[in-house]
Structure 1
Amino acid sequence: MSGGWNTIESDAGVFTFLLNNLGAKDVQFEELLTLEPEVLAELHPVYGVIFLFKYPTDAPYAATDKPLDGTFDHEAAERIFFAAQTIQNACGTQALLSVLLNKDKEGGSSESGTGIDIGTPLREFREFTMVLPPEFRGEALSNSELIRDVHNSFAKSSPFVDETQRTSGEAEDAFHFIAYTPINGTLYELDGLQPAPISHGACAADEFPAKVMEVLQRRIARYDMSEIRFNLMAMVRDLRVRAREIGDAEALEREEQKRRDWQFENALRRHNFVGFAGAVLKGVVEDKLAEGGDAAYEKWIEEAKAKTRQRLENKRKGGGDGDVEMGG
């Protein structure tokens, strides 16, 4: 049940501007393409990571006695922000908030020197929900108009409905976001589908890159070798801040360009380009007809069909032409 929440993509630009639009200051996301701890450590300070993975359907996911890795820390749910997930499509934003709301430097929920200015609206939301049990925190999150509206503003436009999804009988793969973050000397896995925060043992802030990668490697190892659809993003301090502090003009311009690119991509996500594509196609057809009438048009159609058949044949033979895009 979506409850009015739309699916958003697992993309650093989406999650960074989601953070900013919720009111958080000087914080961003960076996508990680490797599980090497050194790569994560270079982004210091790192507040936490968000991991996207295929939701397992062949075995029970949530346990009441003990998790597959680590141990449940039921008492921690009273000290840190942990919310049960009550809405399906909200898990990306919920994972983001699981890190963010435990790093508020003014609310006393972060370790010294590692906090984030999460802004007044989220600070008030945190203060209100911390007196509630996790299941009611999840309900409060799902019913927050501010959080839901910001989340939905990054939903990808889907002008076409694939009717085969309703009739094929094949279940569509589901994906899930969870968060890992060090809190008060402990590495926690925060997953709203589990009954409590999961402790992965003692972890100082500077040990986080190495220890979280060990946990993630064990988790990925539980999947078949052919499963590669994982995504990992780190919540870090705005890299422009560091560039300004050390006077690195080149790095600053690179980060500013990245923000401009993200803004452009996010704007594209909100638009339906069906009308535009139709107008382009109409113009191309008119040009072909003007070139040589119906004969030129028919020749163009046959050439396009031949190219399509060739691409399909290449794919059947394993010849590529088949990029796969996965969203969260």
Structure 2
Amino acid sequence: MAESGGWHTIESDAGVFTYLIENLGVENVQFEELMTLEADDLKQISPIYGVIFLFKYNQGDTSQGPIDGQLDRNAPNHMFFANQTIQNACATQAILSVLLNADKEQVDIGGSLREFKEFTDGFPPDLRGEALSNSDLIRDVHNSFSRSNPFVDEGTRKATEEDDLYHFIAYTPVNGVLYEIDGLQPAPISHGPCTQDEFCDKVIPVIQRRINRYNAGEIRFNLMAAVQDLRIKAVEIGDEQMLAREEQKRKEWETENELRRHNFVGFTYELLKGVVKEKVRDGTYDDWIKQTKAANLQKAAAAKKSEPED
């Protein structure tokens, strides 16, 4: 896999994913975080177009092919499947793997993504991955949702063995088959027959089997569902409270996304300078430092005392 080439990491967050696709021109689709692995919970927010799963990546996951299901090297030609050819792009790639494979009668992906899909139609997976990685529009929208970091250039930094690596994959029904779409695999992975109506019931056991491969204490997973804009559903069923909650959620997402675009290091630095200046002027600086050191030592001692004995 190539270096990031200007792609930055983004969070697995429903607000980030929703506004990202809206900025790409997708209409009437949002993402919802799932807190349980229950098919009934998934059905409550239907229609579901697919899910995005984030997990800690083990280097050996692709060494022997898929860990579950079967590689489908004869998947339909019109199916969008792209190899991941660059770091940090897997979140957006997984999102597009759901949306570009959705029924066009159900999901309006907008002119830009429709043009990209048509342009890459018939490309082999590696060239599709290169086309995605080199798309200025998709990269710029993706990067607009990365957290500002004044210390590390996420676009050039290489992962080390000490880093925890995470990976996004997509699950979606295409042509009556439940597919796992993982850009690090050579082809889509089939998990058997699956209609749109069966998706909720059939995808949960597949995800659960993947989770079960990890130690019981591992909880660093995240599951996002691509669904119809829930405000539309609220209007259709006449649920004013639901509509109000969804409108409030959008306002909160907008605020959070705006904050992601800024770093507050400069502000924090100036604030600390002001505090120090005040302490020096009042003659309490030395006592303040001593108290802080004492408090830190107490915290360290309490933490060490709470550690389990061997």
- Asked if TM exceeds 0.5, the reply is yes
Preserved CA contact (<8 Å) 2:78 2:122: no
Moved more, 302-311 or 241-250: 302-311
Q: Which runs of 5+ in 2 are unaligned?
A: none
Name the residue aligned to 2:55: 53
- Please show how residues 23-172 of structure 1 align to structure 2 within 5 Å: 23-57=25-59, 59-63=60-64, 67-76=66-75, 78-105=77-104, 115-161=106-152, 171-172=162-163
* Alignment check: 8 A CA contact 2:90 2:167 kept: yes
The match for 2:175 is 184
Question: Which position in structure 1 is the counterpart of 2:13?
Answer: 11
Contact 1:104–1:118 under 8 Å retained in 2 = no
Amino acid at match of 1:139: E
Three-state SS of the structure 1 residue aligned to 2:62 is coil
Deviations along 1:280-315, one digit per CA (max 9) or x if unpaired, are 11222233344x32xx12112222222222333333
Q: 1:257 aligns with which of 224, 248, 253?
A: 248
Conserved in 2, the CA contact under 8 Å of 1:104 and 1:123? no
Aligned identity (percent) is 63
| Residues 188/228 of structure 1: CA separation in 2 closer, same or farther (3 Å cut) | same
Paired AA for residue 247 in structure 2? E
* Total equivalences in the alignment: 300
Q: Give the Cα separation in 2 of the matches to 1:147 and 1:135.
A: 17
Q: Deviations over 1:131-183 (max 9, x none)?
A: 21111111100000000000000111112349xxx9xx852111110000011
Moved more, 188-197 or 201-210: 201-210
Match in the other structure for 1:302: 290
- Letter of the 2:12 partner, please give it: S
Unaligned runs of 5+ in 1: 107-114, 320-328
Match of 1:218 among 201, 209, 212: 209
User: What TM-score comes out, normalization by structure 1 length?
Assistant: 0.87
> TM-score, normalized by length of structure 2?
0.92
- Cα separation, 2, equivalents of 1:116 and 1:83: 20
- 1:325 maps to none
Q: CA RMSD in A?
A: 1.8
Alignment of 1:282-301 (within 5 A): 282-290=273-281, 292-293=282-283, 296-301=284-289
CA contact (8 A) 1:186 1:204 kept: yes
Specify which of 278, 299, 314 is matched with residue 302 of structure 2: 314
Are the counterparts in 1 of residues 150 and 263 from structure 2 also a CA contact under 8 Å?
yes
- 2-structure distance, mates of 1:77, 1:5: 29
Q: Distance in 1 between matches of 2:195 and 2:265?
A: 51
**Does the aligned pair in 1 maintain the 2:8–2:88 contact within 8 Å?**
yes
Go from structure 1 to structure 2 and tell me whether the alpha carbon gap of 1:318 and 1:145 turns closer, same or farther (over 3 Å shift): farther
Q: What is the alpha-carbon distance in structure 1 between the residues aligned to residue 302 and residue 230 of structure 2?
A: 43
Contact 1:77 1:196 (C-alpha < 8 Å) held by counterparts = no
Q: Is 1:62–1:194's contact at 8 Å kept on the other side of the alignment?
A: no
